[in-house]
Amino acid sequence: MLGGTDPAVLRDLVAEQNDATLAHYAERLAERTGGRRFDPSTLSRALLRLDLPRKKDAARRRAGPTRRPRRA
């Protein structure tokens, strides 16, 4: 899944900050694994396999759908 890297490292990262971007997870994982780099798409698949959903920060969500004028 992560090429021999212990999945517990990724679990710990998600537990610490579950609203991080995949790029941020890749950067932090490289720090903890001695510089080994992972593609964000690889981390996305690993998170899905580990059943670790990422939560979005409420402050970063969109306000809602755009309002469009009604057509007559």
Position 23 pLDDT exceeds 70: yes
What is the rounded average pLDDT of the residues 26-46?
92
- Amino acid present at 12: D
- Please give the pLDDT value at position 60: 56
Is the model more confident about 41 or about 61?
41
CA distance linking residue 24 with residue 33, whole number of Å: 14
The secondary structure element, H or E, covering residue 30 is helix 22-32
Q: pLDDT at position 2, please?
A: 83
CA atoms 36, 40, 41, 44: torsion sign: positive
Average pLDDT over residues 15-22: 90
**Coil, strand, or helix at residue 14?**
helix
Return contacts of 58-63, CB within 8 angstroms, 24+ apart: 60/19
